[in-house]
Amino acid sequence: MLDRYINLLKSGEVVAFPTETVYGLGADAKNPDAVKKVFEIKGRPSDNPLIVHISDKKQAKYFALEISDDAHKLMDAFWPGPLTLIFKKKPQVLDIITAGLDTVALRWPKHPLSQQLIALAGPVVAPSANSSGKPSPTKAEHVKEDFGDDFPVVDASETEIGLESTVLDISSEPYTIYRPGAVSADEITKIIGKEVIQDSGSSKDETAKSPGTKYSHYSPEAKVQWISSGDTTFVDEALYLLHSRPAPRKSDRVIHYEGNFNKMAHELYDRFRHADHQNLEFVFVEPFSSEQLQNPIVQALQNRITKAIG
Ligand code: AMP
Ligand code: MG
């Protein structure tokens, strides 16, 4: 089933495929013309580096200058899985991938189809398979919405997690999280016995280190807003995403997650896209309590929703 996609990748073409986080837009990580196509198709600014996806630990050696003891521990604990690690790069890593930085981001995804594809076609760069600025795709149909019905997509229905990987910079200490995801700071600290800094792009310094964090991501055309605490009015032209407070009425525009934050993460981008299909003006989201924000997936939700609000 994958033969066609493997051949496309090997001949320098771009192919979308599922990972456990979101669909990725893959291209051969050793072919500069193929990598260039990824930037062109997405409309991605060239100063926003790409994550290289690999299918075993050994492949990391081609890209990472040095793999420290901490790196080995993290790879053994979380790979394959939703953790991207940033290393100092080897000179042979294409500059177009790293946007001229001296570091490279690596991840070994867990989805079996992504593993097979990479094992047979070789390491691929794979940003999320959406047009720049749109919410990341969690279904093959989202990819086709952005890139057309004929675009080659390995279709494997919905992605499991629904939010992008945790991005952790281990190229210098203290280690820093640039993007929260399903793997949390606490879990990382447990493995390496070191505190990590959480910075998701609010300071100028971190923006310079992880350029992608400065771009508005994840946002629908509809305006995303937090519901203010005393507000009990519900309007018709809006989608409401609730998780804890009572729902005012049954409506397909009032979605209640009943504390199931994994489901909320799984569906968030699809809900955003749906709001746009219906030409809704607003998406209102119930804010999270500090207790709920202890949960890593809630931290990731908070990060994406805050960015969507802009
Ligand atoms: P996406 O491709 O949409 O999943 O986004 C990838 C994220 O990883 C962006 O925020 C990039 O800025 C970040 N990233 C990729 N490579 C690096 C790197 N070498 N250093 C810092 N951040 C990186
Ligand atoms: Mg993206």
Mutate to test the pocket of ligand 1, among 210, 216, 304 (most ligand atoms within 8 A of CB): 210
**Residues 94-104: what's their mean pLDDT?**
97
pLDDT of residue 202: 57
CA–centroid distance, 26 to ligand 2, in Å, is 13
Contacts 24+ apart (CB under 8 A), 116-121: 116/2, 117/2, 117/5, 117/6, 117/9, 117/15, 117/17, 117/26, 117/154, 118/53, 118/54, 118/55, 119/55, 119/56, 120/2, 120/6, 121/5, 121/6, 121/9, 121/10, 121/26, 121/28
pLDDT of residue 267: 98
Residue having the nearest C-alpha atom to atom 23 of ligand 1: 210
Distances (CA, A) of 50 to 75, 108, 130, 267, 271: 19, 14, 14, 24, 26
Considering the chain, what is the average pLDDT of its residues? 94
Mutate to test the pocket of ligand 1, among 39, 41, 51, 131 (most ligand atoms within 8 A of CB): 51
Q: What is the pLDDT of residues 190-235, one digit of tens each?
A: 999 999 999 866 555 555 677 776 666 678 999 999 998 877 788 8
CA–centroid distance, 213 to ligand 1, in Å, is 8
Only one residue has tokens 């070191």, namely 194
Neighbours of ion ligand 2 (CB under 5 A): 128
* pTM assigned to the model: 0.95
Quickly list H helices, the chain.
3-10, 32-42, 60-63, 69-78, 95-98, 112-121, 140-147, 185-192, 204-209, 261-277, 296-309
Residue having the nearest C-alpha atom to atom 12 of ligand 1: 212
Q: Which atom of ligand 1 is nearest to the CA of 97?
A: 16
Q: What is the pLDDT of residues 73-87, one digit of tens each?
A: 999 999 999 999 999
User: Which tokens hold the place of 288?
Assistant: 């999270």
Pocket of ligand 1 (CB under 6 A): 48-51, 86, 98, 101, 103-105, 127-128, 164, 167, 178-179, 209-213
